[in-house]
Structure 1
Amino acid sequence: MDAEAPVTADSGAYLVHVSLGTPAFPIVAIADTGSDVIWTQCQPCADCYTQTAPMFDPKSSTTYREISCSSTIFGCSHEGGGTFSPNASGIVGLGGGAASLVSQLGSTTGGKFSYCLASFGDDKPSTLTFGQSAAVSGGVSTPLLTDPRNPTFYFLRLDAISVGTKKIAFTGASGGGGGGNIIIDSGTTLTIVPKGVLSELADAVSSQVSGGTPVQVQGLDTCFEENVVCLAFAGSASLAIYGNVAQQNFRVGYDLKGETLSFEPADCTAGSSA
Structure 2
Amino acid sequence: MKASIGTPPVDIYGIIDTASDLVWTQCVPCDVCFNQIHPKFDPKKSSTYSEISCHSKKCQEWDQIHCSPLNSCNYVSGYTSGLSKGVLAKEKVTITSTSGQAVSFDIAFGCAHNNTINYNDHTTGLIALGLGPLSFPSQIGSKMFSYCLLPYGTEYTDPSITGKISFGNGSEVVGDGVVSTPFVAVGNQYYVTLEGISVGDTYVPFNSSRKVSMGNILIDSGSTLFALPPDFYNRLEVEVKKRISIEPMKNDTLLGNRLCYRTEITNDNGPLLTVHFDGADVELKPIQIFNQPVRGYDIYCFAIINHAKTELADLGDQGLYGNYVQANFLIGFDLETRMVSFKPTDCTKL
Q: Is this a same-fold pair by TM over 0.5?
A: yes
Q: Are the aligned partners of 1:252 and 1:264 in contact in 2 as well (CA < 8 Å)?
A: yes
Structure of higher RCO (CA pairs closer than 8 Å, 6+ residues apart): 1
SS at match of 1:203: helix
Cα deviation for residue 220 of structure 1 reads 5.8
The 3 A distance-change label for structure 1 pair 219 and 52 is: farther
Deviations 1:51-73 (A, max 9, x none): 23211100111100011333651
For structure 2, the residue ranges without an aligned partner over 5 or more in a row are 54-58, 62-87, 89-107, 265-298, 308-315
**Counterpart selection for 1:34 from 19, 35, 40:** 19
Q: Distance in 2 between matches of 1:140 and 1:48?
A: 40
Greater than 3 Å deviation, 4+ residue runs: 68-72
| % identical aligned pairs | 40
Cα deviation for residue 83 of structure 1 reads 2.4
* Larger proportion of strand: 2
Counterpart AA for 2:330: R
SS at match of 1:154: strand
Indicate whether 1:215 and 2:200 are aligned: no
Cα deviation for residue 146 of structure 1 reads 0.9
Q: Are the aligned partners of 1:213 and 1:226 in contact in 2 as well (CA < 8 Å)?
A: no
**Aligned 1:156-167 pairs, distance under 5 A:** 156-167=192-203
Cα deviation for residue 233 of structure 1 reads 1.2
Q: Are the aligned partners of 1:220 and 1:231 in contact in 2 as well (CA < 8 Å)?
A: no
Q: Are the aligned partners of 1:171 and 1:194 in contact in 2 as well (CA < 8 Å)?
A: no
Q: Distance in 2 between matches of 1:90 and 1:67?
A: 19
Q: Distance in 2 between matches of 1:66 and 1:27?
A: 19
Q: Distance in 1 between matches of 2:120 and 2:256?
A: 18
Q: Distance in 2 between matches of 1:239 and 1:55?
A: 37
**Counterpart selection for 2:181 from 123, 142, 145:** 142
Cα deviation for residue 229 of structure 1 reads 2.2
Cα deviation for residue 48 of structure 1 reads 2.1
Q: Distance in 2 between matches of 1:98 and 1:75?
A: 14
Q: Distance in 2 between matches of 1:82 and 1:263?
A: 30
SS at match of 2:4: strand
Match of 1:99 in 2: 134
**Counterpart selection for 1:191 from 226, 231, 236:** 226
Counterpart AA for 1:234: I
Cα deviation for residue 241 of structure 1 reads 0.5
Match of 2:33 in 1: 48
Cα deviation for residue 270 of structure 1 reads 1.0
Indicate whether 1:115 and 2:147 are aligned: yes
Give the alignment's Cα RMSD to 1 decimal: 1.9
Counterpart AA for 1:223: C
Cα deviation for residue 256 of structure 1 reads 0.5
Match of 2:324 in 1: 245
Deviations 1:109-156 (A, max 9, x none): 3x1100001102223112011012110113101112113xx12x1010
**Counterpart selection for 1:230 from 301, 304, 322:** 301
The 3 A distance-change label for structure 1 pair 253 and 22 is: same
Q: Distance in 2 between matches of 1:184 and 1:220?
A: 24
Q: Which moved more, 1:49-58 or 1:21-30?
A: 49-58
**Counterpart selection for 2:116 from 81, 90, 112:** 81
Counterpart AA for 1:214: P
SS at match of 1:37: coil
Indicate whether 1:131 and 2:168 are aligned: yes
Counterpart AA for 2:323: N
Q: Are the aligned partners of 1:220 and 1:232 in contact in 2 as well (CA < 8 Å)?
A: no
**What TM-score does the superposition give when structure 2 sets the normalisation length?**
0.66
Match of 1:12 in 2: none
Cα deviation for residue 164 of structure 1 reads 1.3
Q: Distance in 2 between matches of 1:196 and 1:36?
A: 31
Match of 2:96 in 1: none
SS at match of 1:269: helix
Counterpart AA for 1:179: M
Match of 1:256 in 2: 335
**What TM-score does the superposition give when structure 1 sets the normalisation length?**
0.84
